[in-house]
Amino acid sequence: GQSLEQPSEVTAVEGAIVQINCTYQTSGFYGLSWYQQHDGGAPTFLSYNALDGLEETGRFSSFLSRSDSYGYLLLQELQMKDSASYFCAVRYNFNKFYFGSGTKLNVKP
Amino acid sequence: ETGVTQTPRHLVMGMTNKKSLKCEQHLGHNAMYWYKQSAKKPLELMFVYSLEERVENNSVPSRFSPECPNSSHLFLHLHTLQPEDSALYLCASSQESSINEQFFGPGTRLTVL
């Protein structure tokens, strides 16, 4: 089966940097995605890593280590609007996805 | 506006009712998905339609029945549901060549009495 672990909640202050970790166990691994979901909203795609290393998209970066079955999402220069839930999701067996339980990020002034 | 619309946005039904959820995507994608999101649980992939092939999560009960008449429309037919089926049902779409980047609709909030 598949399993994902990510922290349930993280709190940080505006302007700070926060890292949300994700460890996974799966067979047929293809890659790791990250999604953002505001309360009452739909998940929004942030990034996808298929290969080891860091992918940067503006204030957000995502990292993957396939050998460690580990990834993280890095959010820099935090803004109040970044308060949301963040989900990691493994893509496996080509067209299947398994999502984590999500990390609720609270950004305080 | 995400380009993926879902109707209805809210639905209350009894356990003996039959209803359908509708999803439409305006992004020219060729893969569509149904997800279930329950409180305090991970997003659960229910069905995938990719290039007209259906992939299903074997743990989804048969009281949920998907239909994908074309690449732009997706339905989820519901019958004899249970109260534990109450959840947010999300539709998503993507290009089959880029299924890691999915675009989600706003969801249908389903309550089964």
Say whether residue A30 is in contact with chain B using an 8 A CB cutoff. Answer: yes
pLDDT over 70 at A8, yes or no: yes
Contact A98 B31 (CB under 8 A): no
Sort residue B36 into left (φ over 0), alpha (ψ -120 to 50) or beta.
beta
Contact A91 B99 (CB under 8 A): yes
User: With pLDDT > 70 as the criterion, what percentage of chain A qualifies?
Assistant: 100
Average pLDDT score over residue span B93-109: 90
Give chain B's mean pLDDT.
91
Which residues on A lie below 8 Å from B5 (Cβ)?
Answer: none
**Could you give the count of Cα atoms lying within 13 Å of B65 in the half-sphere of its Cβ?**
10
User: Do the Cβ atoms of A2 and B42 come closer than 8 Å?
Assistant: no
Which residues on B lie below 8 Å from A91 (Cβ)?
Answer: 99-100
User: Any idea which residue has 């940097």 for tokens?
Assistant: A17
Q: What is the pLDDT of residues B51-61, one digit of tens each?
A: 767 887 778 99
Average pLDDT score over residue span B6-17: 93
Structure tokens at A46: 């942030």
Average pLDDT score over residue span B16-24: 95
Which residues on B lie below 8 Å from A87 (Cβ)?
Answer: 42-43
pLDDT over 80 at B105, yes or no: yes
Structure tokens at B25: 């995507």
